């Protein structure tokens, strides 16, 4: 997870803004939108991790439609991909620092997700790593013009 900002930077290095803002089709995000999503969702993930540390069996709320609305409401395609990446990098550094300070007991703390069920902090961190991989692949496909 600590490498994700560098992986994103390598993927967009040398790409023109038009390529980064091009959607492969009407349904799939452009590379810039992927980076903005990662930036914005990182704050949500940080809050969830901190809440898991402070609350026993916290019931979390998940609204995928809200995340989809951010693309339009926050005008992701008008964002500068490089600036969004740097903001994501700063947030991710905070998340990684937080995670490295966790004890085994902390990692065993859990929340209850509406779709995934009971998840420990360790499970959630694994989910976050998989989320990174999924969106990095999505970003690369978008740059290539593939859905």
| Owning domain of residue 26 | 4-144
Q: What is the CATH number of the domain that holds 9?
A: 1.20.120.450
pLDDT score of 4: 98
* pTM for this predicted structure: 0.94
Residue 16 · residue 81 · CB < 8 Å: no
Extract the runs of DSSP E, i.e. beta strands, from the chain.
58-59, 110-113, 117-120
Residue 147 · residue 141 · CB < 8 Å: yes
Instruction: Give the position of tokens 């979390």.
Output: 60
pLDDT score of 83: 98
Count of domains in the chain? 1
The model's pLDDT over 115-146, given as tens digits with 9 standing for 90+, comes to 889 999 999 999 999 999 999 999 999 999 99
CA distance 121 to 53: 8
Q: Does 114 have pLDDT greater than 90?
A: no
């Amino acid at each position: 997870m600590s490498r994700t900002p560098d992986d994103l930077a390598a993927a967009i290095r040398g790409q023109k803004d038009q390529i980064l803002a091009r959607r492969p089709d009407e349904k799939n995000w452009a590379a810039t939108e992927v980076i903005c999503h990662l930036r914005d969702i990182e704050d949500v993930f940080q809050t969830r991790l901190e809440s898991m540390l402070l609350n026993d069996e916290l019931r979390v709320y998940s609204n995928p439609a809200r995340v989809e609305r951010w693309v339009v409401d926050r005008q992701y395609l008008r964002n500068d991909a490089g600036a969004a990446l740097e903001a994501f990098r700063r947030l991710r550094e905070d998340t990684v620092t937080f995670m490295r300070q966790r004890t085994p007991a902390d990692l065993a703390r859990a929340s209850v997700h509406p779709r995934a069920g009971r998840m420990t902090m360790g499970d959630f961190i694994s989910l976050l790593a998989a989320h990174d991989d999924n969106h990095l692949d999505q970003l690369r496909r978008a740059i290539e013009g593939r859905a």
